[in-house]
Amino acid sequence: MLLQLEFKNLATFPVARLEFSQGLNILSGMSGAGKSVLLKALGLVLGGRFSQKLIREGQDKAEVSALFILEPHLLEVWRDRLDLKGDEILIQRQFRREGRSINYLNDAMIGSDTLQQLGATLAQTLDQDEALGLRDPWLQLQWLDTYGEIHLETYRDVYRKWKSGQDRLQELQREVKTQSQQRQFMEFQYEELRKINLREGELAELEEEHQLLAHSVEIDESVAVLCEVSDTFSNAAMRPLEQLLRLLKDHAQFSALIEEGRSLQIEAEEWSRALRASLSNMEADPARLMEVETRLRELRSALKKFHMSEAELVAHVSELELQLTKPPAEIEMQKLEKEVAELEVKARQQALKLDQWRGKVALQLSAEINKRLATLEMDGDRFSIQISQEQVLGPKGMSKIDFLLKPTAEGPSMTLAECASGGERSRALLAISSALAKSMKSSLLVFDEIDTNIGSRLGRPISEAFLSLAEATQVICVTHLAPVAACGDKHFMVEKGTQHSLVRELLEQERLSELAQMIAGEKNSKSALEQAEHMLKQYRGCRA
């Protein structure tokens, strides 16, 4: 429910503030006074597009704000998403002439997309051209389901599974088209790398072995010289060391030094033996050297060809092996095709049940709307809801809905948007919205001059229809009909001065004068004032 609407520097309004009632709120004023600006301000609060042309001349920015109380069903939807602490929300928007705009919800910034989604649930603006979504069959279908309390959970569960299977099936079909070539390529790579039979660390081992084999002659010569030197030292040092040990055995200060020399002589012998043992197999082997060089060229060529390191190439072989052992996409596709076909059968069965339920609800809703049309002097017109089936499954089934009107007994039924005149469309709009007020789940309905082209004799039934509608939801109505204006809980009048426009809530006497103006075209006509007073008393009596 909308509590307050305020805006500054919008079009011809320097400032405006309106406080609305829970029931029926009336807006009136001469043509061109600025009533459309008020509706534009409300539309902006609900996320509508802004044009810099709307900023009042001489000003740099415009502002709009509105205070709402969320109905329980809306609070449940938006509480967590908007992190609401209570049921009140204050929406504020600021627009600058250079093009920048900022949106706030309860003093926190909010994105335009989220604001538009929220606004769509807070209010709906209806006029003859929009005609309550007459061009939106999906919206009509939603209202029909809500009106009839038709639950879609069972169908939607099957539909989601079917749709998910369909999406995956399309992916598999694309995979199958490309998988054959890819698999052939992977098999070619894998066979090539399998023949190479690379193992991690092999390259380093071969390079080390190649280094030894390539220099085996030099290594052998060096070993021979070193061993000869070591043996010569060991043999030559043995006798002098033994003699020194014997001669100086009683002199402790030399014993450590002599023992150290003895250790060097022994270590030389052991080092020589170890060197011979370690490099005993190191001999020139041209055949093995050629074999190692061939293997190195093969491995280095593979690394260069695949632009990978040794470790990456080994991992690539493992990945190829894994991919090639996976079952082909055709196998999964065949299995999935069967599952999707079974789900489609179930979904179509559920969709047919929905059509049957909707057919019954459509008869009930049509009967209710025809009763309301009769009260609006359209008892000769027959409203009906046509339900047909689409071939393709959708989120709401296969139902296609059309709101139809048959103006005469002999004439064919046609959609309201196609056949109804402005007056008929307005009355049909009011009858339909009255019947669907709760189903639309909007806390506010805004009617923009839907009484245009409707004669004054229909003022009473039109006003009674608005009274009935206001019992179900909050209503703002822009009207030129005095009976409609008289039944409002609050009445606001828009006036345009020489420099700016203003809007104000009318007091009792002002309201009588405005009703007299709407009745007779003059505010001071005695008979018109008497009629206005009678209307106010009459509708207050109805409310009591």
Structure confidence at residue 325 (pLDDT): 81
**For residues 453 and 427, what is the distance between their CA atoms, to the nearest angstrom?**
10
**Same domain, yes or no, for 172 and 214?**
no
Q: Consecutive 10-residue runs of the chain (544 residues): their mean pLDDT?
A: 94 92 91 86 92 89 94 88 90 89 91 91 72 66 88 93 91 75 82 87 87 78 78 77 75 78 79 74 77 89 90 89 77 86 93 93 92 80 86 90 77 69 71 79 80 66 83 88 90 87 91 88 82 84 57
**Same domain, yes or no, for 352 and 308?**
no
Structure confidence at residue 273 (pLDDT): 80
What are the E-state strand segments in 346-396?
Answer: 382-394
Q: How far is CA 128 from CA 131, 134, 414, 434, 451, in A?
A: 5, 10, 17, 15, 9
- Whether residue 417 is contained in a domain is answered as yes
- Measure the CA angle with vertex 6, ends 75 and 54; round to 5°: 115
**For residues 531 and 510, what is the distance between their CA atoms, to the nearest angstrom?**
14
**Same domain, yes or no, for 347 and 290?**
no
**For residues 282 and 213, what is the distance between their CA atoms, to the nearest angstrom?**
8
Q: Which of 17, 29, 117, 21 is nearest to 493 (CA)?
A: 29
- Residue for token pair 């948007």: 417
- Residue for token pair 């060809």: 305
Structure confidence at residue 360 (pLDDT): 94
* Beta bridge pairs of residue 19: 4
Structural domain of 378: 133-176+339-435
Structure confidence at residue 217 (pLDDT): 75
**Same domain, yes or no, for 155 and 272?**
no
Question: What is the β-pairing status of strands 24-29 and 474-478?
Answer: parallel
pTM above 0.85, yes or no: no
**Same domain, yes or no, for 220 and 285?**
yes
- Whether residue 372 is contained in a domain is answered as yes
**For residues 359 and 385, what is the distance between their CA atoms, to the nearest angstrom?**
8
Structure confidence at residue 408 (pLDDT): 67
β-sheet with 61-69: strand ranges across: 13-19, 2-10, 61-69, 88-96, 101-105, 108-109
Structure confidence at residue 92 (pLDDT): 95
Identify the domain boundary among 403, 435, 467.
435
- Whether residue 251 is contained in a domain is answered as yes
- Whether residue 403 is contained in a domain is answered as yes
User: Looking at the 3D structure of the chain, how many domains does it have?
Assistant: 2
- Whether residue 18 is contained in a domain is answered as no
CATH code of the domain covering residue 151: 1.20.1050
- Whether residue 164 is contained in a domain is answered as yes
Q: Which of 82, 41, 86, 88 is nearest to 68 (CA)?
A: 88
**For residues 417 and 403, what is the distance between their CA atoms, to the nearest angstrom?**
9
What does DSSP assign to residue 282?
Answer: -
**Same domain, yes or no, for 241 and 270?**
yes
- Whether residue 396 is contained in a domain is answered as yes
Question: Residues 6 or more apart from 108 whose CB is under 8 A from it?
Answer: none
Structure confidence at residue 103 (pLDDT): 93
**Same domain, yes or no, for 374 and 428?**
yes
Q: Could you tell me the maximum CA-CA distance found in the chain, to the nearest angstrom?
A: 157
**Same domain, yes or no, for 289 and 315?**
yes
Structure confidence at residue 34 (pLDDT): 85
**Same domain, yes or no, for 205 and 320?**
yes
**Same domain, yes or no, for 209 and 251?**
yes
Structure confidence at residue 102 (pLDDT): 92
- Whether residue 364 is contained in a domain is answered as yes
Identify the domain boundary among 385, 420, 435.
435
Identify the domain boundary among 279, 300, 325.
325
Question: Residues 6 or more apart from 156 whose CB is under 8 A from it?
Answer: 395
